[in-house]
């Protein structure tokens, strides 16, 4: 079955540290890839997405992710985190089937950034 | 622009009582609609999706059902709640863009069954 693995459930960083959150998926066909973020008390928001083209995708708030097809990975990065990046981050993969995109989520990574 | 609403925001219900959660979308026509449940440490699990009025597909067998009485309205229901139905329920919508579809989420309903 298709699955998405996020390697770290909890990450604690100091401000200005670099961030990399791992995401691997198991599906071997054509996939679309997403990172969503959920700030405390807010909606689940789209951070960035990859459909095709340049495997390095830039999203909002200085985040980027790199799709490495050979590694089935879509890791999220930010060179310098801020306290306001404290949130839960979800990687997701879609597979188009039956007329809609079935979205499979990872378990999420809780990021805490300390001033 | 499109917006998605869910209500209520929070709900506390006794075991065995009925449930009705509502989701509405504004600013788009004929969206795909989805219900998810978010459990701590387990990400989001798709419960139901709908590609049109009256068209509901279920992803997992459970104590819940869904209906789509209008184009932009999606309802999650139960006749008798179980303790295990507690959780955070999210509604999402997407446009009919084929395999480049993106799902957008509502604010969610936190349900506690006592």
Question: Per residue in B28-48, pLDDT tens?
Answer: 888 999 999 987 767 888 999
Please give, rounded to a whole number of angstroms, the shortest distance from the CA of B94 to a CA of chain A. Answer: 9
pLDDT at A102: 78
How far apart are alpha carbons A62 and A95 in whole angstroms? 27
B100 touches chain A (CB under 8 A): yes
User: Nearest chain B Cα to A9, which residue?
Assistant: B41
Q: Does residue B99 carry a pLDDT above 60?
A: no
Please give, rounded to a whole number of angstroms, the shortest distance from the CA of A39 to a CA of chain B. Answer: 11
pLDDT at B12: 97
Token representation of residue B48: 């139901």
Residues A84-110 pLDDT 10s = 999 999 999 987 666 666 788 999 999
Average of per-residue pLDDT values in chain B: 90
Locus of tokens 């709908």: B50
Q: Which residue has the higher pLDDT, B46 or A78?
A: A78
**Three-state SS letters, chain A:** CCCEEECCCEEEEECCCCEEECEEECCCCCCEEEEEEECCCCCEEEEEEECCCCCEEECHHHCEEEEEHHHCEEEEEECCCCHHHCEEEEEEEEEEECCEEEEEECCCEEEEEEC
From B44, B102, B107, residue closest to A43, measured CB to CB: B107
- Using the beta-carbon criterion (under 8 Å), do A90 and B44 form an inter-chain contact? yes
pLDDT at B97: 55
Please give, rounded to a whole number of angstroms, the shortest distance from the CA of B99 to a CA of chain A. Answer: 5
Please give, rounded to a whole number of angstroms, the shortest distance from the CA of A52 to a CA of chain B. Answer: 9
Name the A residues in 14-53 with CB < 8 Å from any B CB: 30, 32, 34, 36, 42-46, 49, 51
Residues B71-92 pLDDT 10s = 999 999 999 999 999 999 999 9
Residues A5-16 pLDDT 10s = 998 899 999 999
pLDDT at A1: 65
From A44, A103, A108, residue closest to B46, measured CB to CB: A103
């Amino acid at each position: 079955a298709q699955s998405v693995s996020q390697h770290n459930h909890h990450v604690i960083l100091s401000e200005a540290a670099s961030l990399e959150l791992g995401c691997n998926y198991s599906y071997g066909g054509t996939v679309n890839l997403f990172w969503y973020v959920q700030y405390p008390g807010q909606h689940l928001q789209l951070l960035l997405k990859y459909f095709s083209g340049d495997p390095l995708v830039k999203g909002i708030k200085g985040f980027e992710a790199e799709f490495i097809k050979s590694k089935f990975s879509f890791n999220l990065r930010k060179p310098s985190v801020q306290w306001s990046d404290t949130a839960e981050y979800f990687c997701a993969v879609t597979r188009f089937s039956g007329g809609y995109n079935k979205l499979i989520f990872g378990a999420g990574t809780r990021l805490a950034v300390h001033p | 622009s499109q917006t998605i609403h869910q209500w209520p925001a929070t709900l506390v219900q006794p075991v065995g009582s009925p449930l009705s959660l509502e989701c509405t979308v504004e600013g788009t026509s004929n969206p795909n609609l989805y219900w998810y449940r978010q459990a701590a440490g387990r990400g989001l699990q798709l419960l139901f999706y709908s590609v049109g009025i009256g068209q509901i597909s279920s992803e997992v067998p459970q104590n819940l059902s869904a209906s789509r009485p209008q184009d932009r309205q999606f309802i999650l229901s139960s006749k008798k709640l179980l303790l295990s139905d507690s959780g955070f329920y999210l509604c999402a919508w997407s446009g009919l863009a084929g395999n480049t579809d993106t799902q957008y989420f509502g604010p969610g309903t936190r349900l506690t069954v006592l």
